[in-house]
Amino acid sequence: MIPALLGIPLVEGVVGSVVGSVVNCFAPSTPPPPASSSSSTSFTPYLNNAAATTAATQPSLTGSPTGTMRSDQWSGMQTSDLKSWMTSLAGKHVNATDATGRTISGVVNGMQQLGNTLALNIGGHLVSLSQLSQISWSPSTV
């Protein structure tokens, strides 16, 4: 019984080092920022870093060579952003799908406003956004 008790510190040391190395796997790779006087700002550098990383990884619709957007996405956009996005499609090949599933394909020649409705000129045909459920775009190969 006494030899078993003598082995307890050895087992504790081995278990402690294993647990310590597992904990180190989950530790942040960058050292924490210096402690500030206010406890409410202790996470601010991490939050700012996360926000900057998220903003940097968000694709810009106007700069994307390819992409897809659904009607529920563009219906939530501001009019100026929607016009900017539609204008950026000029010269790109699009596949526009209407509510019935029919696909309209071609190169976008521009964007027009028809009263209160915005429309794309796809291969010479005006197609209102209100008729469409999805638009996919890619660089024109022509």
Rounded Cα–Cα distance for residues 61 and 64 (Å): 5
The residues, ordered by sequence, that sit 6+ positions from 64 with a Cβ below 8 Å of its Cβ are: 137
Quick one: pLDDT at residue 114?
86
CATH no. for residue 89?
A: 2.30.30.100
**For 29-71, how does the pLDDT look when each residue is reduced to its tens digit (9 = 90+)?**
555 555 555 445 566 666 666 655 544 444 445 457 889 999 9
Is 44 among the domain residues? yes
Residue 74 shares a structural domain with residue 133: yes
Please state the domain count of the chain.
2
Taking residues 73-79, what's their average pLDDT?
A: 92
pLDDT band at 140 (very low <50, low <70, confident <90, very high): confident
Q: Which of 28-32, 80-84, 132-136 has the lowest mean pLDDT?
A: 28-32
Percent of the chain beyond pLDDT 90? Answer: 44
Mean pLDDT of the chain: 74
Residue 52 shares a structural domain with residue 76: no
Residue 89 shares a structural domain with residue 133: yes
Quick one: pLDDT at residue 52?
57
Residue 93 shares a structural domain with residue 41: no
Is 82 among the domain residues? yes
Is 135 among the domain residues? yes
Across 60-98, b (16+ Cβ under 10 Å) vs e yields ebeeeeebebebeebeeeeeeebeebbebbeebbbebbb
Domain span holding position 74: 67-139
- Residue of higher predicted confidence among 79 and 3: 79
Q: Alpha-carbon dihedral of residues 73, 79, 84, 85, nearest 10 degrees? A: 10
Residue 134 shares a structural domain with residue 79: yes
Quick one: pLDDT at residue 2?
57
Residue 71 shares a structural domain with residue 135: yes
Residue 46 shares a structural domain with residue 74: no
Is 62 among the domain residues? no
Residue 77 shares a structural domain with residue 35: no
